[in-house]
Amino acid sequence: PMEVRRFLVWLRQQGKVRNALLRECLGEVLGTFIFMMFGCAALAQVKTSRGSKGQYLSANMAFSVGHFSHLCCLLPHSGAHMNPAVSLSCCVLGRLAWSKLLPYCLAQVIGAFLAAGLVFLMYHDAIMSYSGGVLTVYGPNETASIFATYPVEFLSLGSSFLDQVVGTGMVLLCFLPLDDQQNSPAPPDLVPPLAATVLLGVSMSMSYNCGGGINPARDFGPRLFTFMAGWGSDVFTCYNYWFWVPIAAPMLGAVIGSYIYLIFIQWHLPDPDTDTCANALNILPKENLSPCPPCSTNLT
Amino acid sequence: PMEVRRFLVWLRQQGKVRNALLRECLGEVLGTFIFMMFGCAALAQVKTSRGSKGQYLSANMAFSVGHFSHLCCLLPHSGAHMNPAVSLSCCVLGRLAWSKLLPYCLAQVIGAFLAAGLVFLMYHDAIMSYSGGVLTVYGPNETASIFATYPVEFLSLGSSFLDQVVGTGMVLLCFLPLDDQQNSPAPPDLVPPLAATVLLGVSMSMSYNCGGGINPARDFGPRLFTFMAGWGSDVFTCYNYWFWVPIAAPMLGAVIGSYIYLIFIQWHLPDPDTDTCANALNILPKENLSPCPPCSTNLT
Amino acid sequence: PMEVRRFLVWLRQQGKVRNALLRECLGEVLGTFIFMMFGCAALAQVKTSRGSKGQYLSANMAFSVGHFSHLCCLLPHSGAHMNPAVSLSCCVLGRLAWSKLLPYCLAQVIGAFLAAGLVFLMYHDAIMSYSGGVLTVYGPNETASIFATYPVEFLSLGSSFLDQVVGTGMVLLCFLPLDDQQNSPAPPDLVPPLAATVLLGVSMSMSYNCGGGINPARDFGPRLFTFMAGWGSDVFTCYNYWFWVPIAAPMLGAVIGSYIYLIFIQWHLPDPDTDTCANALNILPKENLSPCPPCSTNLT
Amino acid sequence: PMEVRRFLVWLRQQGKVRNALLRECLGEVLGTFIFMMFGCAALAQVKTSRGSKGQYLSANMAFSVGHFSHLCCLLPHSGAHMNPAVSLSCCVLGRLAWSKLLPYCLAQVIGAFLAAGLVFLMYHDAIMSYSGGVLTVYGPNETASIFATYPVEFLSLGSSFLDQVVGTGMVLLCFLPLDDQQNSPAPPDLVPPLAATVLLGVSMSMSYNCGGGINPARDFGPRLFTFMAGWGSDVFTCYNYWFWVPIAAPMLGAVIGSYIYLIFIQWHLPDPDTDTCANALNILPKENLSPCPPCSTNLT
């Protein structure tokens, strides 16, 4: 099969993505896809097995595992954001060009959408058996929460907004110091497990109110899929068009969380010199904003 | 927005904290805040969801995650004590100036108080729904134990005091060797997970009697908050003014735990020379007591 | 006992395996044996104790621990595949000689078979007590699922095939970047825990439909044992001869998962030069295909 | 308090243990004490809270945490055996002088005995409340299994013996490669978590039959304590004097597990030279058997 090999080499040369942004977006698609595959499939397993093959804690852990598993690989490509709120925060801090924000977000939504689709295929029989064949957003046999997040019934709009702001803020507050070269960055070996542990912590402690979305792509992509796959427009209209909350609130929360870190810790670090100081504030323009720093230096 | 940037740089220059102690205290406020955010929010999630969104183990894990997540960042600032008992132990061992003890403790209480407040805001609807709107310390719908710790009913005062002494002693006994340069200190990558694991171990094994406070700030800050937020004076007077136990006992336990390590292990290490020996005992005054050694060398 | 020592040295010299392939196969036998000992014994403990001494999550964790525990030791011997699907994927990618595929698979099946036998011996009394002495594949007291995997009843054949393809694909998709020297390989210290975490993730999220086999040796070896040990031909004939699915589907899934990684990420990595490019595609023949690269560079 | 300091220095000089064996034994006492404190206290918490403050899994994890937490500190002192079966195995392999075996075992039993005593003190009120004040070995309110291990009722003597042999064998089989310098030893950062993970795996998968003792000191020390503390001679006479099984079987299992590793893997490693070969077999006497190699090279 020497011809097959030559054909594959030729095919690869033709299909090779030479555009850096497109390459980064491919990375974000894949990373968010894997992240959501583990997470959504675990939610499906726990729900459709009625808890006999897992519990809420194992679903929390699966999201964390999904985050952990591709971090090493994707960090030097795109920074492994897997979350529009993290990408926005990087833009605000000057670590990502604003022009890349939209493509990144789109790639993340696509990855989450694809994962939702594959999980639905995998668990199609189980979901149909669990729900009696009726795909609904409300009631004891609802299955929409396998894919997107929904608030508990007693929750006011303001509380749910606050919940998402705080949850995302905590994530950024804990992610930022991991690679702050001015402060004491975490050892490279610790960056992936630390980031995964923070996600686990947030989903164990701040997911009762609204399901712990804290990620617009993680929420909107699967919601769009359920809208198209048979759950209908309820996924958007339910709880008085609540779906905008897990999109908007995390964006705000990420920026707030980032500034809390800057204000409490980073701005007060002893300056080596003024230049570095301006750099630490991350508000002066950088000439050569590199999208691909070495591994573990571009986490957030 | 070049003007905005300039304004921010100017603002930062004005607001910059140049006092080392204040900077360290800011770190302790933030560290204890994050630690308690994860922990208290997890307790709130487990309790108000009546176990459907978590279990006792996940609350144990959340405290551990909170401890883990900012350790790398705060170690070189303040030592990341997040616990007055740890700070006291550092003073006794000569690793922290006595004059810093009170500011550290105050900062830790403030951080825990703020976390309790934010958790109350986040879970306000859930707490009201769970408790039927009545914030109490006793009974099946009590919600005070989300924030501060309370003993089980059959417990005598002596037993609860012993429980807190032993729990805190175990923590210090396990923390001290982590950075004992004379002995075999843990590899820097292992210090944060080891410290977090020890906390997890203590909360899995020594928290039934009194809720596993082992930290005066973790207990007093949230208790003060609940006193002000509607639970009333019961939080202090209940169980015959029991609230002093998780403040006083950990202080004693930390010192005892530290000395057990010294007596069993450290005093018997082969001496390089007499000078180091006196240094190892940590009882001779140090001229230049530096508050900011490099990362992972100042854990306890 | 100087004579005993001399005799042992002489015995070792005689019994020493000097054939590299046989040595590698011994490693695969031992690795798969240990992997399955932890996994099957945990399934036995959870089932026969009716959940009082463990839960589904602890069985998931035990498989992951079994994978973790011998990875460091076996990586430089055979690559620690412990899974025919991983071995096949290595052949397709040019990392393992095709002539070694069959011996590797055989060794893995033998290891899994031996582990099933020892677990049956260990838990013989418990299995008899649980099942009332009747070893069956169906019904509430079935014990066959301790050893091999079986689908849930509502599952169609296509769904179960897809389930195994996706599960194995996810594993390979996450294993491949770990040692991709062209991309950013994981730090050596992270390879074993990352691989174990991926397995944990898959068994927490993709094991409801078919029990999460994703490994022909893990499934066929114990199934053969149960066939011989008293469960009878039902283990092969049940669910319309379903046993071929967890053998064939993982093989296909592994190849698909590998190519998804190549297509999305690896083919688009910037080339150092054409030579390396062809190498990265892994489709040109290698002269000196070494079976024993240094630790952690030959995981998948 | 300069006088106090001088007095302490003087006291330390007087009390300093200059005998290496005694120093190592102190380390074993402390290590086993900490190990058992976490483990027994977790068993007490889970049982006396009737599962509301923990589950079987959290007790498994607590034993593992206890093993993890002092490994770094004690490895260079005594090798951190914490288990007579491990010490025996080290003697058989020539890594520990036979003359040290008895003192090590004694130290380990003392450490476990002390831990049982302190756990009894801490949980005295809870144990009395749970058991109604009657300390028994049998029945639904038995509390003896908090301290020592007991078999399930349907278990034959042979099965329980096999269970302990296999469990301990698995531990040694997984511990030995961790520091095998001829093979590929684990990175130093991974030795403590790997060892703890192996213990977790064994207690999740092989503890239903007999409670997962696999450690004569862990079992005999607390059993002796319960005999003296009020449970009476039942702790020794129950199940037809079963107490000798978790003492004798782990000793045998450790040796078998060690040899399985030698026979399957180590004897077939390519020899650098004959000298090293004899050394690898560990059967030739070593002149300078050092008790204190550098950290992480003397685990088993």
Q: Which of D54, D72, D73 is nearest to D62 (CA)?
A: D54
- Name residue D288's amino acid: N
Comparison of pLDDT for A240 and D79, the residue scoring more: A240
Instruction: Tell me the pLDDT band of C10, cut-offs 50, 70 and 90.
Output: confident
Question: Which chains have 3+ CB pairs within 8 A of A?
Answer: B, C
- Tokens found for residue A167: 């949850």
pLDDT at D73 over 90: no
pLDDT tens-digit map of C177-235:
887 777 777 887 888 888 899 999 999 999 999 998 899 999 999 999 999 999 999 99
Instruction: Tell me the pLDDT band of D270, cut-offs 50, 70 and 90.
Output: low
pLDDT tens-digit map of C135-179:
999 888 999 999 999 999 999 999 999 999 999 999 998 888 887
pLDDT at C53 over 70: yes
Give A170's contacts in chain B (Cβ within 8 Å): 34, 37-38
Give A166's contacts in chain B (Cβ within 8 Å): 37, 118, 122
Mean pLDDT of B226-241: 93
Measure in Å the smallest separation between the Cα of C216 and chain A Cα atoms. 20
**Under an 8 A CB cutoff, do C170 and A37 touch?**
yes
Give B23's contacts in chain A (Cβ within 8 Å): 268
**Under an 8 A CB cutoff, do B206 and D45 touch?**
yes
**Under an 8 A CB cutoff, do A9 and C283 touch?**
yes
Give C76's contacts in chain D (Cβ within 8 Å): 183-184
Give B76's contacts in chain A (Cβ within 8 Å): 183-184
Mean pLDDT of D72-80: 73
Mean pLDDT of C28-55: 93
A-B contacts at Cβ under 8 angstroms: 145
A-C contacts at Cβ under 8 angstroms: 144
Comparison of pLDDT for B113 and B269, the residue scoring more: B113
- Tokens found for residue C221: 């070896």
**Under an 8 A CB cutoff, do A283 and B5 touch?**
yes
**Under an 8 A CB cutoff, do B198 and D26 touch?**
no
pLDDT at B82: 92
Query: Is the domain covering C20-269 a CATH 3.30.1370.60 domain?
Result: no
- Tokens found for residue C127: 């299995």
Give B208's contacts in chain D (Cβ within 8 Å): 44-45, 48-49, 53-54, 123, 126
User: What percent of chain D is predicted at pLDDT more than 90?
Assistant: 56
The pairs formed by A126-129 with CB atoms below 8 angstroms and a separation of 24 or more are A126/A44, A126/A48, A126/A49, A126/C152, A126/C154, A126/C155, A126/C208, A126/C209, A127/A44, A127/A48, A128/C154, A129/A48, A129/C154
Locate the chain D residue with the closest alpha carbon to C21. Answer: D268
Comparison of pLDDT for B43 and A292, the residue scoring more: B43
Give B154's contacts in chain D (Cβ within 8 Å): 125-126, 128-129
d(CA A222, CA C123): 44
In chain C, where the domains are located: 20-269
Mutate to test the interface with D, among C5, C23, C45 (most CBs of D within 10 A): C45
pLDDT at D272: 52
Q: Is C199 strand, coil or helix?
A: helix
Instruction: Tell me the pLDDT band of A76, cut-offs 50, 70 and 90.
Output: low
Report yes or no: D170 and D207 within 8 Å, Cβ to Cβ.
no
Instruction: Tell me the pLDDT band of D126, cut-offs 50, 70 and 90.
Output: very high
Give B192's contacts in chain D (Cβ within 8 Å): none
- Tokens found for residue A265: 């810790």
| Nearest-by-Cβ selection for C264 from A30, A48, A68 | A30
Measure in Å the smallest separation between the Cα of B205 and chain D Cα atoms. 4
d(CA C100, CA C27): 14
**Under an 8 A CB cutoff, do D73 and B183 touch?**
yes
| Nearest-by-Cβ selection for D49 from B185, B208, B284 | B208
Measure in Å the smallest separation between the Cα of D26 and chain B Cα atoms. 6
Mean pLDDT of B201-206: 93
| Nearest-by-Cβ selection for C72 from D56, D190, D278 | D190
Q: Which of A124-133, D71-80, D230-239 has the lowest mean pLDDT?
A: D71-80
A153-168 burial code (b ≥16 CB/10 A, e <16)? eebeeebbbbbbbbbb
Give A177's contacts in chain B (Cβ within 8 Å): 70, 72-73
Mean pLDDT of D97-111: 95
What ranges make up the beta strands (E) of B29-148?
Answer: none
Q: Which CATH class is domain B20-281?
A: mainly alpha
Mean pLDDT of A202-225: 94
Chain-centre distance of CA A94, in angstroms?
A: 20
Give C127's contacts in chain D (Cβ within 8 Å): none
Q: Which of A60-69, A251-260, D93-102, D281-290 has the lowest mean pLDDT?
A: D281-290
User: What percent of chain D is predicted at pLDDT more than 70?
Assistant: 88
pLDDT at B76: 66
pLDDT at C32: 93
d(CA C225, CA B78): 59
Q: Is A238 strand, coil or helix?
A: helix
- For residue D53, CA distances in Å to A165, B155, B211, B243 come to 31, 16, 9, 21
Quick one: CA dihedral D54, B72, C189, A55, positive or negative? positive
pLDDT tens-digit map of C224-274:
999 999 999 999 999 999 999 999 999 999 999 988 888 877 777 766 544
Residue B221 buriedness (CB in 10 A; 0-12 / 13-18 / 19+): buried
Measure in Å the smallest separation between the Cα of B3 and chain D Cα atoms. 49
Comparison of pLDDT for C98 and C293, the residue scoring more: C98
User: What percent of chain A is predicted at pLDDT more than 90?
Assistant: 56
Calculate the average pLDDT of chain C. Answer: 84
d(CA A72, CA A80): 9
Instruction: Tell me the pLDDT band of A263, cut-offs 50, 70 and 90.
Output: confident
Question: Which chains have 3+ CB pairs within 8 A of C?
Answer: A, D
Q: Which CATH class is domain D20-267?
A: mainly alpha
Helix (H) or strand (E) holding A245: helix A245-264
pLDDT at C270: 67
pLDDT at B270: 67
Instruction: Tell me the pLDDT band of A289, cut-offs 50, 70 and 90.
Output: very low
Measure in Å the smallest separation between the Cα of B188 and chain D Cα atoms. 9
Neighbours of A147 (CB within 10 A): 30
Mutate to test the interface with C, among D179, D208, D269 (most CBs of C within 10 A): D208
pLDDT at D15: 72
Locate the chain B residue with the closest alpha carbon to A208. Answer: B45
pLDDT at B279 over 70: no
pLDDT at B289: 34
**Under an 8 A CB cutoff, do B193 and A189 touch?**
no
- Tokens found for residue B190: 């292992």
pLDDT at B271: 60
| Nearest-by-Cβ selection for B209 from D8, D23, D126 | D126
**Under an 8 A CB cutoff, do A265 and B39 touch?**
no
Give C204's contacts in chain A (Cβ within 8 Å): 38, 42, 45, 54, 58-59, 61-62, 65
Mutate to test the interface with C, among A21, A58, A110, A292 (most CBs of C within 10 A): A58
pLDDT tens-digit map of B138-192:
888 999 999 999 999 999 999 999 999 999 999 999 888 887 777 777 787 888 8
Q: Is A212 left (phi over 0), alpha (psi -120 to 50) or beta?
A: left
Give B27's contacts in chain A (Cβ within 8 Å): 264-265
**Under an 8 A CB cutoff, do D264 and C123 touch?**
no
Give A69's contacts in chain C (Cβ within 8 Å): 174, 194, 197-198, 201
Instruction: Tell me the pLDDT band of C297, cut-offs 50, 70 and 90.
Output: very low
pLDDT at D276: 42
Give D15's contacts in chain B (Cβ within 8 Å): 263, 267
d(CA A90, CA C271): 28
The answer for residues whose C-beta is within 8 angstroms of residue A139's C-beta and 6 or more apart is: none
pLDDT at C120 over 90: yes
Mean pLDDT of A61-86: 84
pLDDT tens-digit map of B281-292:
443 333 333 333
**Under an 8 A CB cutoff, do A8 and C185 touch?**
no
pLDDT at B136: 93
pLDDT tens-digit map of D28-70:
999 999 999 999 999 999 999 998 999 999 999 999 998 888 7
Mean pLDDT of D192-201: 90
pLDDT at C14 over 70: yes
**Under an 8 A CB cutoff, do B75 and A184 touch?**
yes
Measure in Å the smallest separation between the Cα of C296 and chain D Cα atoms. 10
Report yes or no: B145 and B47 within 8 Å, Cβ to Cβ.
yes
| Nearest-by-Cβ selection for A281 from B9, B65, B76 | B9
Locate the chain D residue with the closest alpha carbon to C27. Answer: D265
Calculate the average pLDDT of chain B. Answer: 84
pLDDT tens-digit map of A96-133:
999 999 999 999 999 999 999 999 999 999 999 999 98
